[in-house]
């Protein structure tokens, strides 16, 4: 793919367009409807919980619009700033373009912004940060270390300021947002810097579609990105049942249909499987609180009625709602009769007390307490990316399999009354959120080379797992998780070391970076882990989960890619549709489940309201972007 040469960006976008287009930054916020609700038990609280994101989005839109008034002026000197950066690079002995040899002869510092998806860790007192500095002589100064909706708000305001950090380690920007900021000169095109770098070229040779995927419609590449492959997170709306109760109540046979699953939950409620003489069992629970990993049970269960990949959760994936038919045309799932029947089934579970009435209001701590209780055990089923999503992870992370963990069994996707049986599935992408360079960067070539250095195998392992030797080591023999020859093994260590020794490598949270913020080949190396101790090998467990759910994967040709590119006008429209249509659909899902809306009496008005929000326009603008994607565009 032939790319345009780097050129100075003209900054002539009006303040009005910049303010409207910045609404795209609300995209991920609009995706989830839930926030932590404490211990509320009423369905009214659940509705308030589900509507929170839409209200927050409206409030933030005003703030982002006000902040964006400074954007044009802030971007006006982009070309001058870049020229100064190039001169400074040359003066410091680092080439303006081309490979950089690490470690540097003289120390350098890069200021950094990072937006976490699920958890904020101290990025200074942190092994990968310190090890990267040791190996390269480049210090990362984390000026912004944020997460969630508040972090996104700070990012919006930062982009309208006159003081940008050198690099953005992770932003969660869509292609449309990156295109907007690139057109304003706030982030820089970096393709000319990339063409001579070893890791970059290696991955482009491995994946011929990567350049197309990571390039934007203006012909530029603005992000280094990460390397992705199909993995367990493409199937992360998984479900688990308590095996001892399946043995006791169902003769050991896992439910395979929605009817059998209903039977299991009913028996959990009525037959006192924990044997304490109290009606304290919770047949099914979950949470839509921010930061939870795929613990929304409605997504798993709705896939027994039609393919759908819309979570009610901020951290577990955004609203989309489309599938692609055989002719390449988009269909909107949340207004179909099959979706209605799925809601009817969910309402039945909720109404009969089989689904915890706090599912849409409880926080992660409350759900984990339910999943970990063992004196007596109380929970019959829950959704999650892994058992640790709703059960205490502490002992397992030490290499210990306790009873409260071992009793959980993965439940394959269920077959619905019309024969549908689907796993949640999203297409792999190229990790567009990671590795942007701002117009204020003092040394662009250094920053891009640092990204490439981070992608090498050693720094990939350091970012994802911590110190070599104590936490992991490379190997050349043994069976890997994916059945090939292993390339590395993880070393299980306890949490303590003798007095006076470093704590690095003991498995604590500061040993590694959260996987969402890395610039690494981690997804390629994960299945190459030595498959020893499979009962406590998390990657082995997750890989096996993926293989089981892959059996029920929808045809990938029917799945809409999540990284479509839009021009500014269309991006603005999509962001508004995601707030209005997306927010309403997810809010209404909760209301139909809890009974605040009637599947029988309110369905027609629900569909009409979505149509009145311009569903036809939402389909049209998304169809346009998808057609361009299929034709070889971006």
Distance CA 383, CA 355 (A): 12
**What pLDDT sits at residue 401?**
76
306-320, 467-481, 608-622: range with highest mean pLDDT = 608-622
Q: How confident is the model at residue 286 (pLDDT cuts 50, 70, 90)?
A: very high
pLDDT grade for 430, boundaries at 50, 70 and 90: low
Is the pLDDT assigned to residue 62 strictly greater than 50? no
Closest to 416 measured CA to CA, from 336, 512, 525, 307? 307
Q: pLDDT tens, 136-168? A: 999 999 999 998 888 999 999 999 998 999 999
Token pair, residue 123, equals 């990025």
Please report the pLDDT score of residue 206 as a whole number. 80
Q: Is the pLDDT of residue 3 over 50?
A: no
Query: Nearest 5°: phi and psi at 147?
Result: -150, 165
Position 59 pLDDT exceeds 70: no
Locate 266 and state its tokens. 């009913």
Assess whether pLDDT exceeds 80 at residue 471: yes
Rounded distance between C-alpha atoms, residue 436 and residue 446, angstroms: 13
The arithmetic mean of pLDDT across residues 496-525, rounded, is 69
pTM above 0.75, yes or no: no
Tell which residue, 572, 558, 628, 549, has the closest CA to residue 234: 549
Dist. CA 15–CA 184, nearest whole Å: 11
| pLDDT (0 to 100) of residue 267 | 98
Can you read off the two tokens belonging to residue 542? 């997750």
Residue 451 has pLDDT above 60, yes or no: yes
Range name among 204-213, 322-331, 594-603, 621-630 with the lowest pLDDT average: 204-213
Helix then strand then coil, in percent of the chain rounded to 5, is 45, 10, 45
């Amino acid at each position: 793919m032939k790319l345009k040469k780097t050129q100075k960006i003209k900054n002539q976008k009006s303040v009005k367009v910049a303010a409207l287009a910045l609404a795209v930054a609300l995209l991920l916020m609009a995706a989830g409807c839930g926030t932590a609700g404490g211990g509320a038990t009423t369905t009214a609280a659940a509705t308030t919980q589900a509507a929170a994101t839409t209200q927050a989005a409206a409030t933030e839109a005003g703030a982002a619009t006000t902040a964006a008034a400074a954007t044009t002026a802030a971007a006006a000197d982009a070309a001058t700033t870049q020229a100064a950066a190039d001169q400074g690079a040359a003066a410091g002995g680092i080439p303006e373009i081309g490979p950089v040899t690490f470690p540097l002869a003289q120390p350098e510092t890069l200021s950094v912004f990072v937006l976490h998806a699920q958890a904020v860790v101290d990025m200074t007192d942190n092994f990968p940060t310190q090890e990267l500095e040791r190996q390269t002589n480049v210090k990362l100064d984390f000026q912004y270390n944020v997460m969630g909706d508040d972090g996104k708000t700070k990012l919006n305001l930062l982009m309208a300021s006159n003081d940008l950090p050198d690099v953005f380690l992770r932003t969660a920007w869509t292609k449309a947002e990156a295109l907007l900021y690139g057109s304003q000169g706030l982030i820089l095109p970096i393709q000319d810097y990339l063409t001579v770098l070893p890791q970059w070229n290696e991955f482009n040779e491995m994946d011929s579609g990567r350049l197309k995927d990571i390039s934007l419609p203006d012909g530029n590449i603005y992000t280094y990105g990460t390397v992705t492959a199909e993995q367990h997170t493409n199937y992360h709306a998984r479900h688990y049942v308590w095996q001892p109760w399946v043995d006791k109540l169902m003769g050991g046979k896992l439910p395979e249909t929605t009817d059998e699953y209903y039977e299991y939950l009913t028996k959990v409620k009525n037959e006192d499987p924990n044997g304490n003489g109290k009606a304290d069992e919770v047949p099914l629970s979950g949470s839509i609180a921010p930061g939870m990993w795929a613990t929304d049970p409605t997504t798993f269960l709705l896939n027994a009625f039609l393919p759908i990949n819309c979570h009610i959760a901020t951290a577990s994936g955004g609203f989309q709602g489309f599938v692609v038919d055989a002719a390449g045309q988009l269909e909107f799932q949340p207004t179909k009769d099959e979706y209605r029947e799925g809601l009817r089934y969910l309402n039945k579970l909720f109404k009969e007390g089989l689904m915890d009435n706090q599912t849409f209001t409880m926080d992660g701590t409350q759900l984990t307490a339910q999943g970990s209780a063992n004196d007596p055990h109380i929970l019959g089923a829950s959704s999650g990316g892994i058992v640790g999503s709703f059960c205490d992870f502490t002992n397992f992370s030490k290499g210990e399999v306790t009873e409260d963990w071992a009793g959980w069994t993965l439940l394959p996707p269920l077959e619905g009354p019309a024969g549908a049986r689907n796993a949640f599935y999203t297409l792999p992408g190229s990790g567009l959120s990671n590795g942007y360079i701002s117009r204020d960067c003092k040394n662009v070539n250094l920053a891009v080379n640092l990204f490439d250095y981070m992608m090498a195998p050693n720094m990939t392992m350091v970012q994802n797992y911590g110190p070599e030797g104590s936490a992991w080591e490379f190997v050349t023999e043994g069976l890997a998780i994916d059945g090939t020859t292993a390339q590395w093994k993880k070393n299980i260590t306890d949490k303590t070391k003798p007095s006076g020794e470093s704590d690095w490598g003991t498995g604590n949270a500061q040993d590694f970076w959260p996987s969402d913020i890395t610039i690494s080949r981690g997804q390629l190396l994960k299945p190459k882990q030595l498959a020893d101790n499979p009962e406590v090998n998390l990657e082995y467990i997750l890989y096996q989960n993926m293989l089981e759910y892959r059996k029920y994967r929808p045809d990938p040709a029917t799945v809409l890619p999540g990284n479509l590119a839009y021009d500014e006008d269309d991006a603005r429209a999509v962001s508004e549709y995601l707030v209005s249509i997306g927010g309403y659909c997810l809010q209404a899902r909760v209301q139909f489940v809890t009974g605040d809306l009637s599947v029988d009496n309110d369905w027609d008005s629900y569909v009409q309201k979505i149509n009145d929000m311009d569903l036809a326009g939402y389909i049209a603008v998304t169809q346009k972007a998808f057609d361009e994607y299929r034709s070889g565009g971006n």
